[in-house]
Amino acid sequence: QVQLVESGGGLVQAGGSLRLSCAASGRAFSNSAMGWFRQAPGKEREFVAGIAWSGGRTYYGDSVKGRFTISRDYAKNTAYLYLQMNSLKSEDTAVYYCAARTAYPPGGVPISGYDYWGQGTQVTVSS
């Protein structure tokens, strides 16, 4: 069973930075894609960024391009996904979710169809 556990959320002032982390365990992720999504109150869940585990290709939503960076690592049988968020804006306030899409063609980065989800971590940006 795949488990995704996010951490790193919190309260930050506009213009500041935060780094989210996600620990993923339960299977090999070599043929997977992983991503970050967010959902603000009253809005639909939005794709933020994704990364192909094999090769590291990345893809970003338009609203975060140039400000957010997604990366991944692997250590001690655990995959780690990160989201470095810079130049934060009040509109970045949301619950951020880590997600994995398994058995995806190597190198690709999907923006939907993810199989597994974390519990979410709150990011609040004060203006």
Q: Give the mean pLDDT of 88-102.
A: 96
Banded pLDDT at 108 (limits 50, 70, 90): confident
pLDDT tens by residue, 57-94: 999 999 999 999 999 999 888 899 999 999 999 999 99
- Residue type at 17? S
Half-sphere exposure of 51 (CA within 13 A, CB side): 19
Banded pLDDT at 95 (limits 50, 70, 90): very high
Q: What is the DSSP string of 66-106?
A: TTEEEEEEEETTEEEEEEEE-S--GGG-EEEEEEEE-SPPT
Helices H, strands E: what count in the chain? 0, 11
State the Cα–Cα distance between residues 98 and 113, nearest whole angstrom.
13
pLDDT tens by residue, 43-53: 999 999 999 98
Banded pLDDT at 28 (limits 50, 70, 90): confident
Residue 22: its pLDDT value, please? 97
State the Cα–Cα distance between residues 81 and 35, nearest whole angstrom.
8
Nearest to 120 by CA among 94, 99, 100, 96: 96
Residue 103: its pLDDT value, please? 79
